[in-house]
């Protein structure tokens, strides 16, 4: 079955992963800008990273028939330094013009600090000004609930933002309901320990339905599984979900959300 992994950090993955994903049915991915596991020492480090996302990775993915799209931002883990963050944000508009850039992401909060929130709000304003889709990272573990609420309030404070053009990612059982209730899209990230397992993702779909929700691996440099989307397809099949429902969660829904950007063009 075909699938889209709408959130995966392929700069941290091997070419073998591209091959395994293609063999498992992956036809497209989107790669948000994120924290590399260490703080970059200058804005130039981000500039080079954005070039990697927009020039190198699309070619690497294309070798395996996978369409590669990306998102631009300075991630919340490096947003505590407001001066650095604003310098990085100053050259994002030029990247937004490129043909594989879908919007602003993954912005959000990490420890729910005041500076993180300031830079999040400035990213939201940037997205509104350039009429971009938004992909939101929500904090980890004990910080997730509070951060998700702060993020949704900040989005609501910007009248130019339409909830249907915002995907709030890394939801779990205690945040998925509030995200969907406020009209946003919700993303479930499939991690072995710190987010959703394929089983829990299937539970959430059974409990909250399959509208405005997608699954992703968010594969990066930490413990994760770049094949977690097809493994969730398999989990849903094992339970007796219909092929239509499985395809909707893993292909149709991400395609519908992402197609709000005219640059995204993936056939079923």
Partner 1 sequence: MPHPDASCPMTYEQAIEAYFMEHRAKLIDVAAFLDRLERTSENKSDDFRMIAFRSALEVLGDGEPDRARRLLELFSDFSTEPIDTAPMKGALGAMPLDPS
Tell me which residues touch partner 1 (CB under 8 A).
35, 77, 80, 110-117, 139-146, 149-150, 172-174, 177, 181, 199-200, 203, 206-209, 238-241
In angstroms, what CA-CA distances link 53 with 14, 30, 49, 77, 94? Answer: 15, 10, 6, 19, 14
Token pair of 173 as six digits = 């059982």
CB of residue 258 vs partner 1: minimum separation in angstroms? 24
DSSP code at position 252: I
Residue 142 or 267: the one with the smaller Cβ distance to partner 1 is 142
Minimum distance, C-beta of residue 66 to partner 1, in the bound complex (Å): 30
How many CB atoms lie under 10 A from the CB of residue 25?
A: 16
Among residues 55 and 153, whose Cβ is nearest to partner 1?
153
Rounded to whole angstroms, how far apart are CA atoms 74 and 43? 10
Distance in Å, CB of 77 to partner 1, minimum = 5
Does the bond joining 106 to the residue before it have cis omega, within 30 degrees of 0? yes
Task: Rank residues 197 and 260 by Cβ distance to partner 1 and give the closer one.
Answer: 197
Question: Minimal distance in Å, beta carbon 256 to partner 1?
Answer: 19
For partner 1, the closer of residues 199 and 259 by Cβ is 199
Is 66 or 201 the residue whose CB approaches partner 1 more closely?
201
Closest separation between CB of residue 177 and partner 1, Å? Answer: 6
DSSP string, 146-212: HHHHHHHHHHHT-TT--GGGEEE-S--TTTHHHHHHTT-EEEEEB-SSSSB-HHHHHHHHHHH-SSS
**Cβ 115 to partner 1 shortest distance, Å:** 7
Identify which of residues 79 and 229 has a Cβ nearer to partner 1 in the complex.
79
Rounded to 10°, the helix 114-129/82-90 angle is 10
């Amino acid at each position: 079955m075909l699938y889209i992994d709408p959130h995966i950090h392929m700069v941290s993955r091997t070419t073998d992963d591209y091959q395994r994903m293609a063999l498992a049915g992956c036809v497209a991915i989107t790669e948000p800008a994120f924290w590399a596991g260490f703080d970059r020492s200058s804005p130039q480090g981000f500039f080079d990273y954005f070039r990697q996302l927009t020039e190198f990775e699309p070619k690497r993915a294309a070798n395996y028939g996978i369409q590669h799209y990306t998102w631009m931002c300075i991630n919340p883990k490096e947003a505590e330094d407001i001066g650095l963050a604003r310098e990085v944000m100053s050259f994002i508009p030029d990247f937004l013009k490129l043909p594989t850039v879908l919007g602003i992401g993954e912005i959000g909060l990490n420890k729910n600090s005041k500076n993180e929130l300031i830079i999040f709000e400035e990213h939201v304003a940037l997205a509104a000004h350039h009429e971009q889709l938004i992909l939101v990272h929500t904090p980890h573990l004990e910080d997730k609930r509070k951060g998700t609420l702060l993020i949704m309030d900040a989005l609501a404070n910007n009248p130019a933002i339409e909830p249907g053009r915002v995907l709030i990612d890394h939801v779990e059982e205690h945040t998925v309901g509030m995200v969907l209730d406020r009209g946003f899209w919700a993303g479930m990230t499939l991690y072995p320990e710190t987010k959703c397992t394929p089983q829990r993702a299937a539970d959430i779909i059974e409990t909250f339905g399959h509208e405005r929700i997608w699954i992703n691996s968010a594969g990066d440099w930490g413990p994760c599984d770049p094949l977690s989307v097809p493994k969730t397809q398999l989990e849903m099949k094992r339970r007796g979900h219909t092929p239509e429902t499985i395809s909707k969660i893993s292909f149709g829904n991400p395609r519908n959300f992402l197609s709000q950007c005219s640059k995204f063009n993936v056939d079923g």
